[in-house]
A and B are shown apart, each in its own frame.
Chain A
Amino acid sequence: MRTKTTVSLDHGSGGLASQNLISNLFLKYLTSPALHELEDCAVLDEHHGKIAMTTDSYVVDPLFFPGGNIGELAINGTINDLAMRGARPVALSLGLIIEEGFSMESLEQIIQSVAEASNAANVAVVTGDTKVVPKGKADGIFINTSGVGIVSHRCNISGTQAKWGDTVIISGSIADHGITIMSSQAGIAIGGDIKSDTQSLHDLVAAILEEAPCATHVMRDPTRGGVATTLCEIASASKVEITLEQDQLPIKASVNAACELIGLDPLYLANEGKCLVICDSAQAEKILQTMRQFPQGREAAIIGSVTGKAEQGRVTLTTTIGGKRLLEPLTGEPLPRIC
């Protein structure tokens, strides 16, 4: 069979080339029976509980980075968004917008990663769509994934639920994804153990809910804007003051060094496989130990607490030398410094 090396407009036309792409590439890696029916939509099995639904688009640049690529990022990101409300993910969609001339080999690598991430998480891609746009109208490939999950517990896990006295836990080292992408964009080869942390968290979340039902008040994955911005959103929604301890923040030495070099604050850099848990302080130790039993949570740490009520919401940091400073939400893109 003649293999084309790049994606052409024909591949998105719905005609023969589209069908070939679907059967030779997508169905080769993505094996769910619902997808293989090739119907206009997937019909899922019956589930008991409330339905959670989310969607996210992925436009990361570069598409391939240390620790992963856009494909697994899209799968893990959407799974994590469902998990953060305590939902058990059951199905995903995969929408691709591809630029004409995109390398077929890269596409195959991305779909392979989608399949691996989806298999590892045991959440199937059940429906999909592909569009190809003329050269210059997109940047390589954009991916949209939507996800459906089931909420079977009765707890209200939400950004509005942080309470005075609660403990703040992070599931592992912060800023890994953000610094990986920023240093790739800047063409700075930092090396060491710096790589994206993209991974799914729903198993870890399920264990927390099993171990300490309803003691978890808030869960969030601190993606864009990082830990600081995410906590600002929570503090504002819950009308509380959150205080973080700089000493306690798990940040890899290499990530810290890279941040110093480029002039970025790790608290504002994206994470793609970490979650913040704000929980009843009496259950915090138990939840921490539960998290640490998972590879995704091995470096989980208590990083602060909810220290009061605040109508506008407020996040403060106790610095290493004992000083205090406010943490504000990120504004605009994080800019590298010049001197």
Chain B
Amino acid sequence: MKCADEFRSRDITGPLLAELNNCLSRPVRIMEVCGTHTMSIFRHGIRSLLPEGITLLSGPGCPVCVTPASHIDAFIRAAELPDVIVATFGDLIRVPGSKNSLAAARAEGARVEIVYSPMDALELARKENNKKIVFPAIGFETTVPTIAATILAAEQQQIDNFFIISAGKTMPQPLELLMSDPELEVDGLLCPGHVSAIIGANAYLPLAEKYSLSCAVAGFEPADILAGLLSIIKQIENGQPQVDNCYTRVVSDQGNIKAQGLINRVFTPEDSEWRGLGLIPGSGLKLQEEFAGFDALKELAIPIEATEDPKGCKCGDILKGLILPPDCPLYGKRCTPLHPVGPCMVSNEGTCAAYHRYSEKR
């Protein structure tokens, strides 16, 4: 981890902060899209070091947070079926659906196992061959390639008791939607490092041009984030919005062509419901017809039923960057990490959870 330590050294972050302070001549609003950015900003206390004129807004970049309750309900329905084990990423298990969560279903006897990768779920399917294993396939471009690779592996190894509930999402469409919203005043975009590794820095060019948006692709260490913010501020100050790739050790302009190929081989775009943002055309991923046999919804006849967001929950406005968590009437009162009402409070990388864990504001 020596390499990470260097990006956390005051010798590097100190000068970046000083330059940030010098460059800034007016208040700016910057959205950090990715939940991992949100967490890292809190974890390293970056907000406490930034000049006052910089307002950071958290975007819709936490896959757990944007998964609608109707999908969570479907995951729970799957777990309650006889002979089914839901093998899920740990982040999902406490997320409230319309009635309860996977954790509550597990307590009542449903089989829910935590896995760290979809390949682990496939391994479980191999071991428990008299059970059906259902993997809730949530995630963005970062996670979807490994899910696609797992489907291909399952096909090749002829494992017929492995299924997914496809709930993958792609990032450019919601960003386009948000930036076209006149209510939302954003000067700059801190683009997600991991997603960008797959889709490439060029994916943000249309946004930068169309909305005169200053963009920087950044990694997740403090020095990465500060370098990204500095680039955005400089672009704003110079009046020259563009896409600056500050994470070249991981991200290329074109992205990971092989991973993109995997996604396209197994999935095809569809309209998708985002918690808080509504239906966004072309922003979801469904299995290609060829792989329909892996679709748990079809094979196990699990319905997706429309749900209503919990009363008073402002996760939607928070995901859009319209308000900050403490502005939600439920925040810190009815909605806490121990008893989350909305998804932004559940996931480790949810904006509300990060605020609640790390910030002084209550």
Residues on A with beta carbons closer than 8 Å to the beta carbon of B120: 187
Q: Are A321 and B348 neighbours in the complex by a CB distance under 8 Å? A: no
Shortest B58–chain A CB gap in Å is 15
The B1-43 residues at the A interface (CB cut-off 8 A) are 1-2, 4, 8-10, 13-14, 35-36, 42-43
The A61-110 residues at the B interface (CB cut-off 8 A) are none
Shortest B197–chain A CB gap in Å is 11
In the complex, B142 has a CB within 8 A of chain A: yes
Residues on A with beta carbons closer than 8 Å to the beta carbon of B8: 320-321
Residues on B with beta carbons closer than 8 Å to the beta carbon of A323: 44-49, 222
Interface locus among A8-16, A134-142, A254-262: A254-262
In the complex, B349 has a CB within 8 A of chain A: yes
Residues on B with beta carbons closer than 8 Å to the beta carbon of A325: 42-45, 48, 358-359
Q: Are B139 and A338 neighbours in the complex by a CB distance under 8 Å? A: yes
Residues on A with beta carbons closer than 8 Å to the beta carbon of B358: 325-326, 328
Write the chain B residue with the least CB distance to A254. Answer: B1
Q: Are B1 and A188 neighbours in the complex by a CB distance under 8 Å? A: no
| The residue from B47, B90, B140 contacting A339, defined by CB atoms under 8 A apart | B140
Residues on A with beta carbons closer than 8 Å to the beta carbon of B45: 317-319, 321-325
| The residue from A187, A324, A331, A335 contacting B90, defined by CB atoms under 8 A apart | A335
| The residue from A262, A265, A322 contacting B116, defined by CB atoms under 8 A apart | A262
In the complex, B243 has a CB within 8 A of chain A: no
Residues on A with beta carbons closer than 8 Å to the beta carbon of B47: 323
Q: Are A321 and B91 neighbours in the complex by a CB distance under 8 Å? A: no
| The residue from A318, A324, A326 contacting B357, defined by CB atoms under 8 A apart | A326
Write the chain B residue with the least CB distance to A335. Answer: B90
Tell me the complex Cα distance, A320–B348, Å. 21
| The residue from A320, A322, A331, A337 contacting B338, defined by CB atoms under 8 A apart | A331
> When A188-B116, A317-B45 are in contact, do A338 and B143 touch as well, CB less than 8 Å?
yes
| The residue from A187, A253, A337 contacting B348, defined by CB atoms under 8 A apart | A337
Write the chain B residue with the least CB distance to A330. Answer: B337
> When A186-B116, A325-B42, A325-B48 are in contact, do A335 and B1 touch as well, CB less than 8 Å?
no
In the complex, A191 has a CB within 8 A of chain B: no
Tell me the complex Cα distance, A21–B43, Å. 52
Residues on A with beta carbons closer than 8 Å to the beta carbon of B348: 263, 335, 337
Residues on A with beta carbons closer than 8 Å to the beta carbon of B359: 325-326
Tell me the complex Cα distance, A260–B142, Å. 17
In the complex, A336 has a CB within 8 A of chain B: yes
Residues on A with beta carbons closer than 8 Å to the beta carbon of B222: 319-321, 323
Residues on B with beta carbons closer than 8 Å to the beta carbon of A331: 336-338
The A292-339 residues at the B interface (CB cut-off 8 A) are 317-326, 328, 331-332, 335-339
> When A323-B45, A325-B45 are in contact, do A257 and B1 touch as well, CB less than 8 Å?
yes
Tell me the complex Cα distance, A320–B48, Å. 13
Shortest B86–chain A CB gap in Å is 15
Tell me the complex Cα distance, A332–B104, Å. 13
> When A260-B1, A335-B90, A339-B36 are in contact, do A321 and B46 touch as well, CB less than 8 Å?
yes
Tell me the complex Cα distance, A156–B46, Å. 40
The A47-71 residues at the B interface (CB cut-off 8 A) are none
Residues of B within 8 A of A (CB): 1-2, 4, 8-10, 13-14, 35-36, 42-49, 63-64, 89-94, 114, 116, 120, 138-140, 142-143, 194, 222, 336-338, 348-349, 356-360
Q: Could you write out 26 A-B pairs with CB less than 8 Å apart?
A: A256-B1, A257-B1, A260-B1, A319-B44, A320-B9, A320-B44, A320-B222, A321-B45, A321-B46, A322-B13, A324-B48, A325-B42, A328-B337, A328-B356, A328-B357, A331-B337, A335-B90, A335-B94, A336-B91, A337-B36, A338-B64, A338-B91, A338-B138, A338-B143, A339-B63, A339-B194
Residues of A within 8 A of B (CB): 186-188, 253, 256-257, 260, 262-263, 265, 317-326, 328, 331-332, 335-339
